[in-house]
Structure formats: C-alpha cells, structure tokens
Amino acid sequence: MYGTHFGLQELPFTITPDTSFFFAHSSHQEALNTLLVAVRSGEGFMKVIGEVGTGKTLLCRKFLGALDHREFVTAYIPNPYLQPMTLLLAIADELDIQYPQHINQHQLLKLLNRYLIDSYAEGKRVLLCLDESQAIPIETLESLRLLSNLETERRKLVQVVLFGQPELNERLENPSIRQLKQRISFACRLLPLSLSEVEFYISHRLAVAGYRGARLFPHRVVKRIYRTSNGIPRLVNILAHKSLMAAFGEGARVVSERHVRMAVEDTESTQGALTVKARIKRYLTALVSALAPISVLPLINSGTTLITGGPV
C-alpha cells in the first residue's frame, strides 16, 4: 500500500470509527461536550442526529471512552432493529446480567430494575447508547421509555442516548410515543464539514497517521474533495484514500486534481451528485448561449456598433 511511500505509520483515511482520529470540529465537539454534561447531570433521554457518514458512531465511541467507568456502567447496542423483548435481552447481555434460559418480558424487566437499583446503591450510573436508532421499531421505543420510568427523587436510574439519522425525528413524531419525545432533554445535530474544516481534517488525520513531510493535498485539491463530498467525513476519507492510491501508483509525492478525479470516477456514492452538477452546468451554459444573441439583437436593430475589446 502507499503507507511507506508517503512515510505513514498507518493508513490515515480508513472508514472504521477509530477514536484516535477523532476530529473535534464545531458540531462534533459541541455534541460531545453536551452529552458529557447531560449524563453527569442525570438527564434521562438524549438524542444525536446526523446524516449518513457524518461520524455518529465515532462520536458515540469517543463519548463512551471519555466517561469515568468507575462512575458509569455502559451498554452499547450497535443494531437496535429489535423487538422489545430481544432489545431487553441485548441490554441484559451488555450489562452482564444473568438470567434463566426461558424468561418472559415481565421477569426480565424485574431483573433489569433490580440491577439499576443495585447500581444506584453502589453510586454508579447506568447508560445505554443505541446506534442507528432510526431503525428502532415504535413498540421497542416504548419499551425503552417504560424501562426509564424507574427513578429516584433526584435522577433517573438509567440514561439513554439515541444516535440516529434524520429519520429518527420523523419516527419520534408518532403520537403513540409522544411521552418519550417529551423526555428528550438534550438534542444535538452533527453537521458536514466546511471547506476550511475539510482542510484541517485531512491534515489532522495525516498527522495522527505519522506524516511529517511537505503538504500532500494542495488547497485546490482539497477544494475539489470538498465540493464532491459536500463535507461528509466518510466521503472525504474515501476520496482522500483513493487519491493517495492513485498518486502512489504514479510514483507522485503530491496529490493532484487528476488523482482526485480518478478517485471520484471510482466512487459510486459520488456519481449521482456529480451527474446533477454536470447537468446544471450544461443547462446554464446552453441558456447563456441561447440568450446571448437575443441580448445583442436590440443593439443591432438600433444601429449600435459593437467593437470587440472596446467600449460600446
């Protein structure tokens, strides 16, 4: 691979959620700070919304890693597309709760409630983090609300953070779970990177990966990556990775716009956006060409002479 060629200790643009590459740009850092304050103040439900590829899973792992595990007991559910009973079993497994093989939902809820009470008595907080929460069935969301009903006079005995795509907001509009929606005390939204943030993001990941040489991605190249990716971190990673591969294949030491163009052509998820942009550009070019003779016609009819490069 290109690691040795560019003096890298590891690949900088993998799409796995490695917290050592966490980039604390505005909305991500704000969301992380909000979550840390919210869980320490004992809030019940929190929500983080972000489009596909904006780094929700990475933020979730960074958040869990930032907690003091002498104070917090955590359960991470990566795929909560589960029926109520199955989700409760998954939570019990994450919390290392022992239960008999044939157990019904009522009995399992009693075990979970006992665990929450015991944890509170030991001075610990129980936190559930559910990734891809837009996929949670309505009845499962309601079971989460019921689980969260257990509380003391001061705080909830279980706290829940929902990480999901914008479709989660639509799901929460369902009247049958309006009580859960009312309990969400903090909501954060992850935004795409700006052009300047994409520039810092690429430099940051290269530095973490051990790069210490001259600039690999000139500004015009970063601008091309930004325009194509719309600032979505996952797409930035994919395009930067493939651009480095293209540069390595040619023995180049700096990424050029042509290398990015090769990366774009090889990336299916960017083709739709480029096609739309290309169509708009062709339409505007054709429109300008069609309007140009019309705008000149009144001048010709009035006898005005146009001299190229001079005043009319």
- Structural domains in the chain, CATH included, are 26-190 (3.40.50.300)
Provide the pLDDT for residue 284.
57
What is the C-alpha separation between 274 and 309, in angstroms, rounded?
A: 35
- Reported as a single tens digit per residue, the pLDDT across 111-130 is 999 999 999 999 999 999 99
- Reported as a single tens digit per residue, the pLDDT across 31-82 is 999 999 999 988 889 999 999 999 999 999 999 999 999 999 999 999 999 9
Residue 19: is it exposed, middle or buried by C-beta count within 10 angstroms (0-12/13-18/19+)?
middle
Sequence-separated (6 or more) residues with CB below 8 Å from residue 24: 32
* 273 pLDDT above the threshold of 70: no
Q: Tell me the average pLDDT across 186-201.
A: 96
Banded model confidence at residue 291, pLDDT cuts 50, 70, 90: low
Nearest to 170 by CA among 124, 138, 139: 138
Provide the pLDDT for residue 183.
92
Provide the pLDDT for residue 282.
47
Task: Report the predicted TM-score, pTM, of the whole model to 2 decimal places.
Answer: 0.83
| Three-state DSSP class for residue 272 | helix
What is the C-alpha separation between 99 and 92, in angstroms, rounded?
A: 8
Structure-derived torsion over alpha carbons of residues 25, 31, 35, 37, reported in degrees to the nearest 10: 70
- Reported as a single tens digit per residue, the pLDDT across 130-154 is 999 999 999 999 999 988 888 877 7
Nearest to 269 by CA among 232, 224, 220: 232
Provide the pLDDT for residue 272.
58
Nearest to 151 by CA among 116, 181, 105: 116
What token pair was written down for 257?
């716009």
